[in-house]
Amino acid sequence: MGDLFEHLRRTKRVPERDSVRIITCLGQALEYIHGLNIVHRDVKLENLLIMRDAYGEIGVKLADFGLATEMPEEFGVLKTICGTPTYVAPEVLTQAGYGCKVDIWAAGVILYAILVGFPPFQSSDGSEQDLFSAIQSGEFTFPSPHWDDISYSVRHLIMCLITLDPFHRYEATELLQDEWVANLGDVDPEYEEWATLFVNSKMRANEEEEETPYEYYTSRRASMDELRYQIIPYNLSSHHSSFSLTLQIFCGSLFFALFSVKTFSILE
């Protein structure tokens, strides 16, 4: 059935009733591997394989554990810079040390992306340095009209997943216990009202003035191994890689500019 990236290419966006099942499957997978003290480090649309149950309901399986590693016991944090730019957590970029919560950040990026068809952090010209700066700021919005028909309950969940401070970010268990997830998107009206107040109090006042987001989707099939050897700010001009741009335009209200990157790795 393909991966979630290809599914999103075809559908442009995923409705809430399907999105909640997708994030539930991902949350269960992360809860399991995190319980084994394993960090995936490359959770992204391309690594979620689509499946259907006996009733035809959508689900996903987490794949490609090529960058997965066990958390070290001695120091308790990882510092290797790796992952895929669109989904990488801020603590990875700053080299402050990171753990399992980087997978939770990526899950939040995925949930945001499948609901509206574009990720929360973007660069207008494909610059990874600009993208990384946006990620490190931790600031994102729910721009109109793309989010107008999406519940505030799921927006609240996204804010709990894409939280700058990993100590305040949800764990996989908390993701699964979230009201929107636990009730498969069918939340109590009182909770939706509370979530609306919560989200509106946290978002910036100028959200309504936000222009249509830059529809550049920085993604790739291969993971960003070259990030291991870069210190922020990421200097594209100094990196010995060849970059090729593949622009694919799709019908509908949203467009994706997909940047494919050929990388050089000293590990090869």
**What is the pLDDT averaged over residues 116-131?**
92
- Which CATH number characterizes residue 92's domain? 1.10.510.10
Number of Cβ atoms within 10 Å of the Cβ of 201: 7
In a domain, 121, yes or no: yes
Q: Please write down the HEC assignment for all residues of the chain.
A: CCEHHHHHHHHCCCCHHHHHHHHHHHHHHHHHHHHCCEECCCCCHHHEEEEECCCCCEEEEECCCCCCEECCCCCCCECCCCCCHHHCCHHHHCCCCECCHHHHHHHHHHHHHHHHCCCCCCCCCCCHHHHHHHHHHCCCCCCCCCCCCCCHHHHHHHHHHCCCCCCCCCCHHHHHHCHHHHCCCCCCHHHHHHHHHHHHHHCCHHHHHCCCCCCCECCCCCCCHHHHHCCCCCCHHHCCCEEEEEEECCCCCCCEEEEEEECCCCCC
pLDDT at 56 over 60: yes
pLDDT per residue as tens digits for the range 58-98: 999 999 999 999 998 877 899 999 999 999 999 999 988 99
Question: Is 113 inside any structural domain?
Answer: yes
- Looking at residue 267, its pLDDT comes to 28
pLDDT higher than threshold 90 for residue 268: no
* Residue 124, pLDDT score: 81
75 vs 160, which has greater pLDDT?
160
pLDDT at 238: 31
- Is residue 116 within 8 A of residue 55, CB to CB? The reply is no
User: How far is Cα 246 from Cα 218, in angstroms, rounded to an integer?
Assistant: 11
pLDDT of residue 204: 56
CA neighbor of 176 nearest in space, from 68, 30, 16? 30
In contact, 180 and 154? CB cutoff 8 Å: yes
Residue 28 lies in a domain: yes
Helix axes 189-202, 152-161, angle to 10 degrees: 50
Report pLDDT for 126: 82
Of 120, 116, 111, 101, nearest to 181 (Cα)?
111
Q: What is the pLDDT of residues 95-106, one digit of tens each?
A: 889 999 999 999
**Residue 34 sits in which domain range?**
4-262
Calculate the dihedral angle through the C-alpha atoms of 43, 47, 52, 56, rounding to the nearest 10 degrees: 70
Give a yes or no: residue 267 inside a domain.
no
Confidence at residue 123, expressed as pLDDT on a 0 to 100 scale: 87
Confidence of residue 173 (pLDDT cuts 50, 70, 90): very high
Q: What mean pLDDT is predicted for residues 7-16?
A: 97
Once rounded to an integer, what is the mean pLDDT over residues 175-194? 97
| Phi-psi label, residue 97: left if phi above 0, alpha if psi -120 to 50, beta otherwise | left
| 223, 42 Cβ separation under 8 angstroms | yes
Q: Are residues 151 and 185 in contact, defined by beta-carbon separation less than 8 angstroms?
A: yes
Give the catalytic positions in this structure.
42
Share of the chain above pLDDT 70, in %: 75
Question: Is 268 inside a domain boundary?
Answer: no
What's the domain count of the chain?
1
Q: What is the pTM of this model?
A: 0.79
Mean pLDDT is lowest, of 125-139, 176-190, 218-232, for: 218-232
Distance CA 44, CA 220 (A): 10
Band of residue 149 on the pLDDT scale cut at 50, 70, 90: very high
**Mean pLDDT taken over the chain:** 81
